[in-house]
Amino acid sequence: MKHPSFLLNRIFQASLPIFLLITFLSCKKITNPAPPAGDLKLEISEERSLQSTCSEMFLTAHADQTGRPYLYVAAKEGGLKIFALSGSLIPVAQIPISQLNGLHVMNISQSGNDLYLALGNHFGTAIQAPGLAIIDVTDPLNPLVRSTWQDISQTGGTGIIETQGNFAYLGAMGNGMIIFDISNKAAPRVLSVFKPDLNFPDPNPDPKKYNARGLAILGDLVYLCFDAGGLRVINIADKVHPFEAGRYANPQMNGKPRAYNNVVIDGMTAYLAVDYCGMEAVDISRPSSINLLSWWNPWNCQASPMNWFSSNGHTNEIVMDREKHLLFMASGKSDLQVVNVSDPAKPQFSKEYGGVNNQVGTWGVSIRDNKIYLAYVCSVIPFSSNWTGVKVLGYALR
């Protein structure tokens, strides 16, 4: 095991995002999910796999959004790696961290022919500065670094980057959310840094447990997963002066470790990956007063504060097939969980891929054109995994 420090910091950070308390009585907790009667059967088949090493962990992988047959991988110390998807997974290009100010690649997003990289390691003890890079992939075989940025005065790394138009939003862990003007791709410019109030949802907060690690943008609002600090709704109409417009956290987890890691939005429902607590569906029709619709909690996380160590799952990245009403969650020890949310108030377990006994665990997941790209990592705590790479899976409802 070359990365014994991976995820070790989560003992101290409780790195699992959170959300604001509102009307808990209307929520339905799902602890023993079962497929709905008469539901179409979801079939998942393994098609290809790509192995890396623990010194170049594959944190997440995304197929090219424009339909070209390439896969972009955030390979941490290995930088950005690009693979051909036609036929076997063949490496075709790489941007090493030597071209990225030495910062590890933690996450990726794409807009047109530009890739946006969230830079800066936040695992273990070798914590780096937060940074970003913009990569031109007009020709994926010859990617070009258009620009890099880092804040050398800070440490903590990054968790996510998303864009909307000429603006980028960087989840900079304990340093909050940084908003950039990216109209000039050669010179991204910081417009503001927003650090949510730490005094929610629990008193006497530990700052190490509050991290901007997942986000989704809807109009003039950013839904920010603030780890132990809950889900925060940030009004970004004025990019220079963003402000908090709402917050949410599940009150049943008050006083216990929790972490809201990522969010995906469908209409007026936000689906939240809540680490060892599964998934929560919340009504965001009134951002200032978010309501819990349902809680898919297969690991009974609230039973004991120690369940984080023994849980069979730790949901991190979450994506949605809106046409099929399916949520796909990278779930650590149990690999992949798929939940049917045709009715957000009654989420139904649909499929598990991998399982708890294969000695490997996941961190990232993405989907495109009925393919799943599942990223595995090396880790010691809270689950053991000594294999890292990407598995490409096919899925269909029969």
CATH of the domain at 222: 2.130.10.10
Return the pLDDT at 88. 84
- For residue 4, tell me if it sits in a domain: no
- For residue 3, tell me if it sits in a domain: no
- What dihedral angle (degrees, nearest 10) is formed by the CA atoms of 373, 36, 308, 229? 80
Distances from the Cα of 100 to the Cα of 1, 95, 96, 147, 173, angstroms: 26, 8, 7, 9, 19
- For residue 383, tell me if it sits in a domain: yes
pLDDT in tens, the chain (398 residues): 344 334 444 443 434 332 222 222 233 444 444 444 345 799 999 999 999 999 999 999 999 999 999 999 999 999 999 999 988 899 999 999 999 999 999 999 999 999 999 999 999 889 999 999 999 999 999 999 999 999 999 999 999 999 999 999 999 999 999 999 999 999 999 999 999 999 999 988 999 999 999 999 999 999 999 999 999 999 999 999 999 999 999 999 998 889 999 999 999 999 999 999 999 999 999 999 999 999 999 999 999 878 888 899 999 999 999 999 999 999 999 999 999 999 999 999 999 999 999 999 999 999 999 999 999 999 998 888 999 999 999 999 99
Would strands 28-30 and 189-194 be described as parallel, antiparallel, or unpaired? unpaired
Name the residue type at position 269: T
The number of domains in the chain is: 1
Structural domain of residue 121, as residue ranges? 10-397
Return the pLDDT at 308. 85
Q: Where are the alpha helices (DSSP H) in the chain?
A: 10-13, 307-310
Return the pLDDT at 306. 82
pTM for the full model?
0.91
Residue found by looking up tokens 């959004």 in the block: 65
Residues 6+ apart with CB under 8 A from 319: 264, 327, 328, 365, 366, 367
Residue found by looking up tokens 């943008």 in the block: 217
The answer to whether 372 touches 336, Cβ cutoff 8 Å, is: yes
Return the pLDDT at 39. 56
What is the distance between the alpha carbons of residues 220 and 383, in angstroms, rounded to a whole number?
A: 38
- CA atoms lying within 13 Å on the CB side of residue 362: 34
Return the pLDDT at 199. 95
Residues 6+ apart with CB under 8 A from 226: 17, 18, 196, 210, 211, 212, 213, 232, 260
- For 363, the 3-state DSSP assignment is strand
Distances from the Cα of 217 to the Cα of 163, 230, 274, 398, angstroms: 8, 16, 19, 33
- For residue 1, tell me if it sits in a domain: no
Name the residue type at position 141: L
- For residue 356, tell me if it sits in a domain: yes
Return the pLDDT at 382. 86
What is the distance between the alpha carbons of residues 77 and 97, in angstroms, rounded to a whole number?
A: 7
Residues in the chain: 398
Distances from the Cα of 154 to the Cα of 14, 195, 276, 318, 355, angstroms: 21, 13, 29, 28, 38
What is the distance between the alpha carbons of residues 49 and 43, in angstroms, rounded to a whole number?
A: 18
What is the distance between the alpha carbons of residues 274 and 266, in angstroms, rounded to a whole number?
A: 17
What is the distance between the alpha carbons of residues 239 and 231, in angstroms, rounded to a whole number?
A: 19
